[in-house]
Chains A and B, each alone.
With several copies, the nearest count.
Chain A
Amino acid sequence: MKATRIVEAVLFASETPLAPAEIARASSDLTPAQVEEAIGELCREYEREERAFQIYPLGDGYQILTRPECATYLETFDSITRTQRLTRAALETLAIIAYRQPVSRMEIEELRGVNVAGVLRNLQERGLIEVVDRAEGLGRPLLYGTTRRFLDHFGLRSLDDLPRPEDLQITLRTER
């Protein structure tokens, strides 16, 4: 069977992003490089045929998702959990973890000026952050980092996709 077809079958059957190396496991004849090539080919085909979906890079993998233009037509089928957005407290905490990881709860609280125990628990339950290490020193506090799912949730390829602090408009105001 053609590589494009195998890759398409695997991507279609998956509900999560898959890395090229993972997709390549489908067949012993398939290399990650061939998978990448097949994905490129499929992307062009979907574009040409005006499919309702496209292959999107997410984290270190790829996933077939519907195009944003279709979103309004799918709203009636939305489940409640699906549309749940994060609170500002959660977003601020995630922002700090994303940039400062591995980071302890105390450091986050210092930065946000508020207690974050509940928010951390919540983010952990949603699989957006995880304990990645323990710090040295007193009490050996847990250190948090973001997960693969974090990238997926925000449609990011990697943490490098996050804006650099100097790109934010805020920097204009920090200059004297």
Chain B
Amino acid sequence: MRLPTPVGSRVSESDDPFVVDIERFQGPLDLLLHLIRSQDIDIFDIPIAEITAQFIAAIEGVEQRLTLERAGEFLEMAATLVRIKAQMLLPRREDMLEEEDPRSELVRRLLEYELFREVAYVLSDAEAERALHRGKGHVEPRPPPDRMELPLELAMDELLEVALSLPAPPAKRPHRAPVQPITVDEKIELWFKALKQKARVPFKSFIRRWKTRVHAVMSFLACLELAKRGVVRLRQQRPFGTLWIYRGESDEDR
């Protein structure tokens, strides 16, 4: 892979280094690097006051020209620069080591960013070089074929036919508990429990808490089973009237 051309040659500069078109810059770090590199400033000894003034001049009116978010990114850097400048004006404490230059964090970020900016140029060259090779099909090389790229064989009437064959959705959409098989034995257990406390229970009250038909059916089958065994007796005064379940041994309650 070829080495990139130097950064400076990529950034078209006007005569005045800090008259810049902000929209050309990728962000505050890009702009700051431009100001430093285009003036041959030693990045390890940035004249913060000067650079801050230039930076703020460059982003003048940034709120009008960029989106709020992008403008915010530049303004945040301006604030950082001002803070560094303020720190440098403060008298140095005696125990302060030399490495604790208020600028050092910013320098680290700038160098790191510059490195990736450089790699981006290398990638750009590689991309241009690769674009000179045309593959079969003359379309952009594609990743290994996946399902997305296989033509789907499905006609609308096929989908519609299936849609027509589907059941109607339930009128009400109750909260669905995990499906559990409901057995007559289970219901028998419940009847026993209920009849332990009361001598008679209306069938309706028993099934009220079960919303689905299958529970009602199983409960009813359980009643019949118990009646058959002679454990309970069923009583209904009239058709569609209340169905009462009586404890078998409480005959005297009649």
Contact = CB atoms under 8 A, between A and B. Distances in A.
Interface of A: 9, 12-17, 56, 58, 63-68, 70-71, 74, 77-86, 88-89, 91-92, 94-96, 98-100, 106-107, 110-115, 125-128, 138, 147-149, 152-156, 161-163, 165, 167-170, 173-174, 176
28 contacts: A13-B137, A13-B138, A14-B136, A15-B136, A15-B137, A15-B139, A15-B141, A82-B150, A83-B152, A84-B140, A86-B152, A88-B124, A92-B162, A95-B116, A95-B159, A96-B166, A98-B119, A112-B29, A113-B30, A113-B73, A126-B148, A138-B175, A163-B3, A165-B115, A169-B6, A169-B164, A169-B168, A170-B163
A156 B154 contact: no
Contacts of A95: 116-117, 119-120, 122-123, 159-160, 162-163, 166
Contacts of B1: 156, 161-163
Contacts of B147: 84, 125-127
Interface string B217-228: 000000000000
Contacts of A111: 109, 112-113, 116, 166-167, 169
Interface in B3-51: 3-4, 6-7, 26-30, 43-44
A136 B213 CA distance: 27
B134 A71 contact: yes
Given A68-B132, A94-B120, A155-B130, A168 B3 contact: yes
Given A79-B139, A91-B162, 20 more contacts: A13-B137, A14-B138, A64-B136, A77-B138, A83-B151, A85-B128, A92-B162, A92-B166, A96-B166, A100-B169, A112-B26, A125-B146, A154-B123, A154-B127, A155-B126, A155-B130, A168-B163, A169-B4, A170-B111, A170-B163
A154 B130 contact: yes
A126 B163 CA distance: 20
A69 B152 CA distance: 29
Contact of B141 (A89, A110, A149): A149
Nearest to B140: A82
Given A99-B163, A161-B1, A154 B136 contact: no
B129 interface: yes
Interface in B145-203: 145-148, 150-154, 156, 158-160, 162-164, 166-170, 173, 175-176
Nearest to A77: B138
Q: Is the interface of B mostly helix, strand, loop or mixed?
A: helix
Contacts of A149: 141-143, 148
Contact of A15 (B129, B138, B150, B163): B138
Report whether over half of chain A's contact residues are helix, strand or loop; otherwise say mixed.
helix
B133 interface: yes
Question: Of residues B7, B73, B151, B169, which shows the largest number of chain A Cβ atoms within 10 Å of its Cβ?
Answer: B169
B145 A74 contact: no
Tell which of A77, A81, A111 has the most Cβ of chain B within 10 Å: A111
Q: Which of B122, B123, B173 has the most CB of A within 10 A?
A: B123
Given A162-B122, A173-B43, A92 B134 contact: no
A148 B143 contact: yes
Contact of B127 (A74, A82, A85, A107): A85
B41 to A, nearest CB: 11
Enumerate the 8 nearest inter-chain pairs by beta-carbon distance, A residue then B residue, closest first. Answer: A155-B130, A114-B27, A68-B132, A65-B133, A95-B119, A91-B120, A95-B163, A113-B29
Given A15-B138, A107-B173, A148-B143, A86 B167 contact: no
A126 to B, nearest CB: 5
Given A16-B143, A169-B3, A91 B169 contact: no
B130 to A, nearest CB: 3
